[in-house]
Amino acid sequence: AAGVIQSPRHLIKEKRETATLKCYPIPRHDTVYWYQQGPGQDPQFLISFYEKMQSDKGSIPDRFSAQQFSDYHSELNMSSLELGDSALYFCASSSTGLANYGYTFGSGTRLTVV
Amino acid sequence: QKEVEQNSGPLSVPEGAIASLNCTYSDRGSQSFFWYRQYSGKSPELIMSIYSNGDKEDGRFTAQLNKASQYVSLLIRDSQPSDSATYLCAVSSGNTGKLIFGQGTTLQVKP
């Protein structure tokens, strides 16, 4: 079965650079969630989109922005990168009415800021 | 106080034993509860979900929920070395599907 696809798998950026992470949801899923997991930390909810509109917002820094496109894929844009942004970034997707039944995460993007 | 709390461990059990993982949450309005397993450097994998009080069994896994005590647990029977991982308790409240995770409990199953 198709899963959530994230790209790239690994990304190395320098401080103050910009990074773009992409997430392709499971086909026919209309909701996307983004989480950040720092080293030794639990996943922290960043933001979610439903039908291309922001549906919920968590601890996402103002330097980050995200959107969901007409094909339901989502991109997380991160500017003015800081060392503390180094983390695993996970994306998950669900379909309408099933959000509270749990969802599957993509393989994640490991961002390293040097 | 974190919204979802777990003992970070490590919890060490011998192969074949029962591993018991616990989680408490603070939001009484929480409706859905999940256990995820995460291997180092990998994404969390959903292993159990529970929505009503009582027990839910799936193979070697049993999830237990007590909403009055705001407590969720996961029992792993006949623990195997391959079960060694971090187990994340997650709680969903509201209707957007956002999950609040605990800090995870590291389980070590020794052969």
pLDDT in tens, B61-81: 999 999 999 999 999 999 999
pLDDT in tens, B6-17: 988 899 999 999
Give ∠ CA B35-B87-A66 in degrees, rounded to 5: 70
- Nearest residue of B to residue A103, measured between CA atoms: B46
B46 touches chain A (CB under 8 A): yes
CA A97 vs. chain centroid, Å, equals 21
User: What's the rounded Cα separation, in Å, for the pair A42 and B106?
Assistant: 12
User: What's the rounded Cα separation, in Å, for the pair A87 and A112?
Assistant: 7
B53 touches chain A (CB under 8 A): no
3 state SS for A29-96: CCEEEEEEECCCCCCEEEEEEECCEEEEECCCCCCEEEEECCCCCEEEEECCCCHHHCEEEEEEEECC
Q: What is the pLDDT of residue A95?
A: 83
- My answer on whether omega of the bond before A8 falls inside 30° of 0, hence cis, is yes
B10 touches chain A (CB under 8 A): no
Of B44, B99, B103, the CB nearest to A45: B99
- Nearest residue of A to residue B88, measured between CA atoms: A42
- A113, A4, A95, A47 alpha-carbon torsion, rounded to 10°: 0
**In a mutagenesis test of the A interface, which of B98, B100, B103, B105 is the best target, namely the one with the most A β-carbons within 10 Å?**
B98
Nearest chain A Cα distance for residue B78, angstroms = 25
- My answer on whether omega of the bond before B10 falls inside 30° of 0, hence cis, is yes
Nearest chain A Cα distance for residue B95, angstroms = 7
Q: Per the structure block, which two tokens stand in for B42? A: 């990998």
pLDDT in tens, B91-111: 987 778 899 999 999 999 999
The beta-strand segments (E) located in chain B are: 4-5, 11-14, 19-25, 32-38, 45-50, 54-58, 61-66, 71-76, 85-92, 99-101, 105-110
Contact B31 A99 (CB under 8 A): no
**In a mutagenesis test of the B interface, which of A100, A104, A109 is the best target, namely the one with the most B β-carbons within 10 Å?**
A100
Percent of chain B with pLDDT over 90: 86
A49 touches chain B (CB under 8 A): no
Per-residue pLDDT of chain A (114 residues; tens, 9 = 90+): 679 999 999 999 999 999 999 999 999 899 999 999 999 999 999 999 999 999 999 989 999 999 999 999 999 999 999 999 999 999 999 886 666 677 889 999 999 999
Contact A107 B34 (CB under 8 A): no
Nearest chain A Cα distance for residue B67, angstroms = 16
